[in-house]
Structure 1
Amino acid sequence: MEDSWWVANLKALESRPQRLEALITMNTTIAKDAALSRQIIERLLTTAELYDCANSAADSHVPKDQAVDVTLELLGHCLDQLAMDTADEQLPSLLRRGLTHQNPALRALVLARLLKELRRQLVAGQVRTLPNNELIFLILDELKQPDTEGTSLAINILSIVLVQRLSDADVQAKLVHLLQQNEIVRCCAYELAVVLAKESAATLSAVKFILDAALSELDNDDVLLQASVMELLVPLAKQNHGLSYMERRRVLDIISTRVQSIEEHPLEALLIPSIMKFFGKIAAYQPLKIIAGYPHMLACLFQQLQSEDESILPTAMDTLANLASTPQGKMLLHLHFNAAVEESFKIYGSYTKKLSAPIKERLLNSLDVIYEVETPPTKELNAILKSWYECFAGGAHANVIMDLINTPFPDLQMAALALLKTICKYDWGIVALKNTGGAVEFLLSRQRDLHRNIKYIKWQIMEILSASAEFSPTETVRFTAYVNEGPYHVQADLDIATEPQGNA
């Protein structure tokens, strides 16, 4: 189409009765033409009337949702055809209207296309150098918007491009300005700083002023804000330079003292689940630091696990799973807290009989994390896990798990079967299953009313059993036949037809 055709249709947007027809016409055309000139793309991306059509304000002449949807689709086609070169000085002016628009869906659309291009550059091994700060400032402004899809997109973009200009005084000033906003915006800045700081000690140093501001929030009276900041700080401990920074600032010590001072400050009891989650997640990266270094935190955790309080048990169960998620974590727990772990597993066994179905499911999922190992465990670790399991099950059998499989709750059934599958990766787990009356028969059954996912997990377990030496040749043949038939095999019904006898 000639440039004049596009000018005429864009002009038609000024007339509300003609607006929808013009939008549909342009959208249909651009969808078919994948080679529009740069001039036309620039005209479309800089026309104010087109962006007005993306506003969700009511319009008596145009069906609101349809007009907005067509506009977003049209602008999406424009962005797809734009050579989004981040080194291009014109790019910020072409994206400005979209990045500053009141419709969050449009802002997210532009951000998503920009992130896609930056990730392409990352894969290619070279992120183009930005000519100035204009684009960075536009993206940083997204963090001041209400929390939307655009927030995470903006943080992902900034994690790629901001490293180029972190030392720039104007960029630093813009970041400081974010720290002067409300707590939601500040938390976005903290999240961005953690993402950047993870990359290297140098970038951590450049955003240290933001991290320091985050740590100051831990003295805030707002429990929810403190919990949010703790959650944001966790990934920092994954890298040694990040953990070193946290140790220098005594972050772990400061947070752990909250647990010890609950009697003096009862309101801080509300923080305990968040503190447990914080230490548990860090323990997944740094088990020695947490398990050996903060015994009173572990003592508090085991106390929570015995509480029967369904409001705190899920977090406590997840925390124990994080502590024991690595081979080192399991060994350290055995070394320092084995009696408490065994007692907790016994309590878990009792919980399967009296707590609500969602908590039972969370319990099973946490056990699955503990027993899932990437590499075969050592002989010592294998013995430890066997001992813990028998504390949970009350012996070398799987009756507790089978009882949960036989409940009427599909999600609970799947969680129980998933744990059984994980347990069967150990020889002692297969023996426990073998020792459980009715377990093998249930796995071999072809019940038609079972959920599709349950049938698949059953089939996976049979695949493990068919390769085990614990069963007789006859049983192994049956298991192999089941596996070969597939997870969703349906046995044919044998109907014996009889003809009615005629009168003699």
Structure 2
Amino acid sequence: MAASIEQLLSLLSGLEEPIEELRSLKTATLTLPLSTLAESLPALRLDVIFRLMASPDREQVNLCVAILERFLQALEPIHIAQTYKEDLQRGLYHPDDSVKLLSISQVGRIVESSEAITEILNNLELLKQIIMCIGGDKISVAREAIKSLSKISRSTSGLDVLFGSNLLASLKAVMAVSDVVRYRVYELIVEISSMSAESLSFCANSGILSQLLDELTGPDVLVRVTCTEMITTLASTHHGRQYLAQQGIIDRISNMILGADSDPFSGFYLPGLVKFFGNLAVMDSPQQICEHYPAFLQKVFDMAEGHETTMIGVAVDTLGIMGSTVEGKQVLQKTGPRFNNVFKRIGHHAKNAPTELRVRCLDSIASLLSLPEDHHTEDLLAMSENWFTCLSNQPMDLFRSIATQPFPELHCAALKVFTGNSLYLIQWPLSLRLKVAENKAVANQSWAQKQMIESPGFIEYIVDRTVDPDKDSKDTKFELVKALVNSKTVADVFGNQHYLRLRAYLRDGPYYVKAISTVAVEGAE
């Protein structure tokens, strides 16, 4: 097969209509394993494929791209850089976006190699053209360019080239293409700034980061929204938070929250400001953030008690994230009756709101009621129990009624109030969501187990597999049983009979079906 590839390549050299041969070559390259291709390719030249890719014929271009993607995937980055660097550079000027994507992605591979990256860093013209690709019409090309430039910035030498040469002028020039392109560059700068304190220093000295921060309080409301999202990303790193504090950005955002009531357009950017502080509270210290910026928590409570569904959802998510830590729970507890009223309101929405908001409320409740087993102190257990009773006059009936409804998302969300591990808060950084996931909710707390055993029919519902309509429901029920069986107090609270039933359920698994035996009767058909 390797020989046939060599023959096909040689056949292509003199053809004016090479479509059929390109199709055959594509089939051959896709048939061979990469390891086999890798053995033969260093001895072959792909110049003819790069040359044929310059055609205006769309099918011919697509075939060449597919072939080269396969070939180049089998080659080491250093070989590509030394042999085909000029071909890749010419591809950046090609009118077809698929060719640009091929070239940029291969540059991305090269700069990930410590022995090959110098080949790219020494070619400022190639890097300049990648920067220009950020301003193109095709978002996929711009994204790939941002990804490759971000990879270049992972090394000090890459930072020196990108910010210490005339490439910085190219970066600023492409920002002038349009508002959309300007924010693509901001996205790149924030991504680079988030890597390390060193990379942030380069970005700050470039002036582009300061320009982004200035737009936070500009006249365009939609610009504020975009800026807030980017600044929140930067705040997810310790060095980023330090920089924002030094620049007075955290104080500025706090003032924006204070002035939101007098701004008729604050509904556009206020959710982002609240998420920003929610991020800070969990990444640093909920107590310090709420003490230094009291407007944040006050606004969250106001939003939760309001009537606008979007704002309620953001407030509920924020309280769930903040309350995922013991310190966050204690901060909320210190507000006394105010938080109890807010939590009661969340319970009301969990029962009566549209489905999406109900799920978010149940998710937040699970996070707020969770307690790691090494924090089962008398005070914290009493706090969790008190919050639980604030939700409804009959909170166990509330959750059981939701759990028995024929809607899987509600069914599972209600059960996860007992097990924890709910991950609906997808708009928050992964590091924050993982903190929520590490907690177990009320199933491992003795007061909740007493509520379960005292609720008529609840244990029977837990061990009844026939009421779970789908796989997700069965899996969630199984997690509840596992959490109960693994609890240190459940045997004493539930008693031996119920405890053994739970252990049998755990042993048999979530999908167990009891076999029904039949007896044959002589003469029966």
The question of a shared fold, defined as TM-score above 0.5 by the shorter chain, is answered with yes
Aligned to 2:342: 344
2:500 counterpart of 1:477: yes
Q: 1:36 aligns with which of 37, 40, 64?
A: 40
Cα shift at 1:480: 1.5
Deviates most, 421-430 or 86-95: 86-95
Query: Residues of 2 paired with 1:99 and 1:47: CA distance?
Result: 14
What secondary structure does 1:311 align onto? helix
Deviations 1:28-48 (A, max 9, x none): 233325133346344155224
Is contact 1:23-1:71 (8 Å) kept? yes
Aligned to 1:60: none
Query: Residues of 2 paired with 1:369 and 1:149: CA distance?
Result: 37
Deviations 1:42-90 (A, max 9, x none): 415522436755x4xxxxxxxx6xx776544312212212321299455
Deviates most, 369-378 or 480-489: 369-378
Aligned to 2:196: 200
Q: Residue 68 and residue 350 in structure 1: after superposition, are their counterparts in 2 closer, same or farther (change >3 A)?
A: farther
Aligned to 2:77: 84
Query: Residues of 1 paired with 2:458 and 2:175: CA distance?
Result: 59
Is contact 1:259-1:269 (8 Å) kept? no
Deviations 1:171-211 (A, max 9, x none): 22122223323222222222222222223333212111111
Query: Residues of 2 paired with 1:193 and 1:86: CA distance?
Result: 30
Deviations 1:355-388 (A, max 9, x none): 1111101111223344456773352444433332
Q: Residue 465 and residue 322 in structure 1: after superposition, are their counterparts in 2 closer, same or farther (change >3 A)?
A: closer
Deviates most, 126-135 or 195-204: 126-135
Is contact 1:448-1:490 (8 Å) kept? no
Aligned to 2:364: 366
2:152 counterpart of 1:161: yes
Matches within 5 A, 1:275-314: 275-286=273-284, 287-314=286-313
Q: Residue 106 and residue 482 in structure 1: after superposition, are their counterparts in 2 closer, same or farther (change >3 A)?
A: farther
Deviates most, 300-309 or 67-76: 67-76
Deviations 1:130-180 (A, max 9, x none): 333344334323322346344444434323312424342212212222332
Query: Residues of 2 paired with 1:98 and 1:366: CA distance?
Result: 50
* TM-score (normalised: structure 2): 0.81
Q: Which amino acid aligns with 1:278?
A: F
Q: Residue 213 and residue 95 in structure 1: after superposition, are their counterparts in 2 closer, same or farther (change >3 A)?
A: same
2:490 counterpart of 1:492: no
2:66 counterpart of 1:47: no
Query: Residues of 2 paired with 1:441 and 1:294: CA distance?
Result: 48
Aligned to 1:260: 258
Q: 2:136 aligns with which of 129, 136, 145?
A: 145
Q: 1:401 aligns with which of 358, 378, 399?
A: 399
Q: Which amino acid aligns with 1:166?
A: L
Deviations 1:102-125 (A, max 9, x none): 554554455455545655x48xxx
Cα shift at 1:498: 5.2
Matches within 5 A, 1:3-14: 5-9=8-12, 11-12=14-15, 14=16
* TM-score (normalised: structure 1): 0.84
Q: Residue 498 and residue 6 in structure 1: after superposition, are their counterparts in 2 closer, same or farther (change >3 A)?
A: same
Query: Residues of 1 paired with 2:452 and 2:141: CA distance?
Result: 49
Aligned to 1:431: 450
Q: Residue 341 and residue 412 in structure 1: after superposition, are their counterparts in 2 closer, same or farther (change >3 A)?
A: same
Kindly, what percent of the aligned residue pairs are identical? Answer: 24
Q: Which amino acid aligns with 1:362?
A: R
Number of residue pairs the alignment of both structures matches: 481
Cα shift at 1:398: 2.5
Q: In structure 1, list runs of 5 or more residues that go unmatched.
A: 56-63
Q: 2:472 aligns with which of 434, 438, 453?
A: 453
What secondary structure does 1:166 align onto? helix
Q: 1:465 aligns with which of 484, 487, 500?
A: 484
Q: In structure 2, list runs of 5 or more residues that go unmatched.
A: 421-441
Query: Residues of 1 paired with 2:352 and 2:511: CA distance?
Result: 33
Is contact 1:183-1:225 (8 Å) kept? no
What secondary structure does 1:85 align onto? helix
Deviates most, 492-501 or 188-197: 492-501
